[in-house]
Structure 1
Amino acid sequence: MAVSPACWADEPFALISIPGCGMDLSKAHASVHVAREMAFAHNGMIRALNSIYQQCIHVSTLIDIADLLKYAQFWCQWLREHHHGEEELLFPQIEKITGEKGLMERNVAQHHAFESGLVKFETWLNDSKPENYHGKELRALIDSFGKILIQHLTEEIQTLLALGQYDGQALKEAWTVFDLEMRKGDKSIIFPIVLGSSDREFEGAGDWPEVPGVVRILVHYYFERKHRGAWRFSPSTTWGNKRPLTFTGDSEI
């Protein structure tokens, strides 16, 4: 897959347009709120994957390679926890609210569609040794499931937007339960990777995710310390500001 020579983490996989732009969100149905929150989360996953894809052929030292492998493993963990939470918490609640059993079945089927490619990617990451690393192999593995994954992440937003005829308060409550569960992961991993793949300027994202400013300070100065080397591959700062990708250039391995 081609990558523009001077692009940020918005390529090669396309980001998702945020629902509700230009709307009075205070009057919007909860389905718009839920779809917006999910789109912000999905875009973070896409940016992080793009960051891995772009930088993986430009790392050269053993420590840089080891940190990239760790960052990619954390990305896989984030994606898996997110989809597990959807299947165990959010989707069953949506089907209960709508009274339509099987409504979210297509989304679950899409999870399974890229599963084999994701497993191969995870296995490769876990088995790789920095001294035997090949960035082009990593890229090829991402190419094997990337398009299917991005299709799923994009189409799920439309599924959520289509819930506008149902109980808005119940949808908000279902999202809150899901969101709180997603924040319970290892704070030295989930907070840095989520905050570090956000973009506060993208289509009115602002300070997403909504956390007190003191939390961002705590993440930056405390929770990021354990895996600091891995966060060099994050496309944004802890405050959601774009920053140049660390590893670019002509060296390819």
Structure 2
Amino acid sequence: MAVNTPPMYTDTPLSLIPTPKFQTGKVRTYGSGASTWASLLTIVVSNQDDPFTIEASHMALSHNAFIRGFNSIYQQAPRLQTSTDKTDFVSYSLAWIECVKTHHQYEETELFPNIDKAAGKTGLMDGAVHEHEAFYSGMDRMKDYLVKEGPDFSATELIAIMDSFKEPLHNHLKAEPSAIVALAKYSTPENPIDILGIADAAGKKQISLGFFLNTVPVFFLNMETVTFEDGMWHGVFPPLKGLAKTVVNRVVPMWHSSWWRFVSCTPEGELKRLAV
């Protein structure tokens, strides 16, 4: 390898999250809301089929894109030399912040309230909301610092800010998929919860043209699928194929292309070398 060749991206300092689907199948027992005969019935549902396990796995994969984005910023910040690199890097970092915060805001305003509504309960995901609050202030400090300093930012200062919230962020990203799996107990034959439909409808409401052009690539281009969990998600999640996949992974990133050179993955879903 040439002396000036950047190193490969690595999954550090934050580790990736395994998906519930990859980890295990599950045994599902209907809860107390079911009829007498149903309450005695235990149904073995494979992890390929259980909708709560599938939705939790999709969430874990999304969280891994946030983790790779965090790691790519953390690893590349000390390596930047030119003002041009730093200016583009600031825009990339701000896009990552926007992506993560938008995801959690849509959960709080759309996903979680609609889960409560479907279950006939309140506050089922309050634990996740409190976890969000534990790292929001750190992300706000990161954003404010980058906006204020621009290309004059100090890598040491930026990493110190990231260190201040990386643990609560990582703890939340690890915990939330399990909380989604646990919601299965509220779905009964009399009151089934369409968790996949709820999540899909809520997710669509966070997309705008500006978000699509200025933020979405930081999500899709930090999605490694070729080797993660033996490639079981490659071509499966994100659920994009053909022209749609080409548009999202190749056409849209042509807008602000200099920002997206800092991502961790190729459009094909493979890890790549750092940009600098």
TM-score (norm 2): 0.82
Counterpart of 2:131 in structure 1 is: 110
What is the CA–CA distance in structure 2 between the aligned matches of 1:152 and 1:224, rounded to whole Å?
Answer: 29
Asked if 2 retains the 8 angstrom alpha-carbon contact of 1:192 and 1:238, the reply is no
SS of residue matched to 1:155: helix
Counterpart of 1:147 in structure 2 is: 167
What is the CA–CA distance in structure 2 between the aligned matches of 1:39 and 1:129, rounded to whole Å?
Answer: 32
Matched to 2:218, the amino acid is I
Deviations 1:93-112 (A, max 9, x none): 11222233111111111111
Mapping 1:84-233, distance limit 5 Å: 84-130=105-151, 132-167=152-187, 169-184=193-208, 186-200=211-225, 201-203=227-229, 204-207=232-235, 208-233=237-262
Name the % identity. 29
- Structure 1 residue ranges without an equivalent (≥5): 1-5, 248-253
Asked if 2 retains the 8 angstrom alpha-carbon contact of 1:195 and 1:239, the reply is no
Between structure 1 and structure 2, the one with the greater Rg is 2
Residue 131 of structure 2 is aligned to residue 83 of structure 1: no
Which aligned runs of 4 or more in structure 1 are off by greater than 4 angstroms?
Answer: 22-26
What is the CA–CA distance in structure 1 between the aligned matches of 2:201 and 2:249, rounded to whole Å?
Answer: 26
Return 195-204 or 219-228, whichever deviates more: 219-228
Matched to 2:239, the amino acid is E
Counterpart of 1:237 in structure 2 is: 266
Per-residue deviation, 1:89: 0.6
Counterpart of 2:31 in structure 1 is: none
Residue 39 of structure 2 is aligned to residue 14 of structure 1: no
Matched to 2:228, the amino acid is F
Per-residue deviation, 1:140: 0.5
Over aligned residue pairs, what C-alpha RMSD do you find?
A: 1.9
Asked if 1 retains the 8 angstrom alpha-carbon contact of 2:221 and 2:249, the reply is no
TM-score (norm 1): 0.89
What is the CA–CA distance in structure 2 between the aligned matches of 1:96 and 1:154, rounded to whole Å?
Answer: 25
Q: How many residues align?
A: 241
